[in-house]
Structure 1
Amino acid sequence: MMPRWKGKGLQAKANADPMSKIVSQLQSSLIQFETRGLLSSCSVLVEVDAELADLLNRSCFGRPRITAQEDKQWFQLDMEEAFYLCFSLKCLKVIGEDGSIKSNEELWDYFKSKKLVFPVSYKVYSHLRHKNWVVRSGLQYGVDFVAYRHHPALVHSEYAVVWSDVHCTVRLCGSVAKTLLTVIVNSNNQVANSPSCLEHYTVEERTITRWNPERSREDQTGPKNGTKKV
């Protein structure tokens, strides 16, 4: 499936400002200002100024949160987003309810206590983010994540990502013009006691499309390698 840009000239705009560059700018800014987030239940809140808010928006980390404090701006990061900035990019510190800065191991244990599948969901999230995909929640499509080639304001999501049940989502993904991307995470018998286990996890990607009998006649080519028909 080809990317579906939302307007004329937006592909050129995205190419001129690649997501890897934007994320690098965000990383530098967070490090420069020693940014800290506040642990809040299943998310992390970050106080931002206009510049940092712009970078978070452009890099697609978190979402603005409206509060009663009109003189302050806050962004709310999901668990995977916050841990990616802390553990993978090493540009964010998180403060717990006790006022202390949490280590990666402490954050890992906390997020696991809130979400049992966090080790797998984080591995999938970081795997795609490392490839410069924008990763967002796929709840509205009945999948785990959706992946965008660039900012969602410029292009439609290309992949609906699952690592759990597959068959119930295939029909839906076809109706909303998305390719279903299954991500198989193998822990290789590593116990998820700390984030260091992620180094031993392996990831396999497979795309799944609905079988169309019109495309299976003798004069048509067969399915490409790596694509499974169901």
Structure 2
Amino acid sequence: MTWDEMAPLLWESTWQTALMVGWSTVFTVLFGLPIGVALVVFDRGGLRPLPVLKSVLGVIVNVGRSLPFIVLMIAIIPFTRLVVGTTIGTAAVVVPLTVGAVPFFARLVETALREVGSDVVQAAQAMGASRTAIVRKVLLPEAMPGLVAGLTVTVVALIGYSAMAGTIGGGGLGDLAVRYGYQRFETLLMIVTVVLLVVIVQLIQSLGDAVARRLSHSK
């Protein structure tokens, strides 16, 4: 296979991977961030202690994290079909990607928030700030470097998940590597796909690290 034949395939697959990872990242933050905040706020000694609810959320998060992604992807096929009307294609893959990444990101959010000094929270409480204000104006801003680092790790994990999802009709670079690189013995295309994935991961990791360092220094 020549470069002229590979280039359109690589471009289309990269775009599909970007769509899968991009949309699943957005939904992961929308759902995972509130869950991570709740795990801290509802804990014993938190802003609004609700130990039973915290325990329930903790169990749900742990179960979600314990399932291998390939098993999760197959197990929620009926849910995926209910949400997007199909189980094949880029849009369908966003559902299992999000379901798999939300518990992972929620734990990273919890870890980042727990690193915020209790004295900062107590000072805000002493000034009469509400729970919502403390979360929005104290906890989240103070934990921002850790949150960015956690999001970076999550995006990198999503890229790996998306490559697995591609093997069952999700498209993207994983699908390209399997269908052409492996099944059709196009070794060069397989190598180029692997190198491209490595480059994408390195760029995202470097960008995330740079943003986290800048936020940490600006505090």
Instruction: Check whether TM > 0.5.
Output: no
Between Structure 1 and Structure 2, the one with more strand by share is 1
Between Structure 1 and Structure 2, the one with more helix by share is 2
Q: Structure 1-normalised TM-score?
A: 0.28
Greater RCO structure (CA 8 Å; 6+ sep): 2
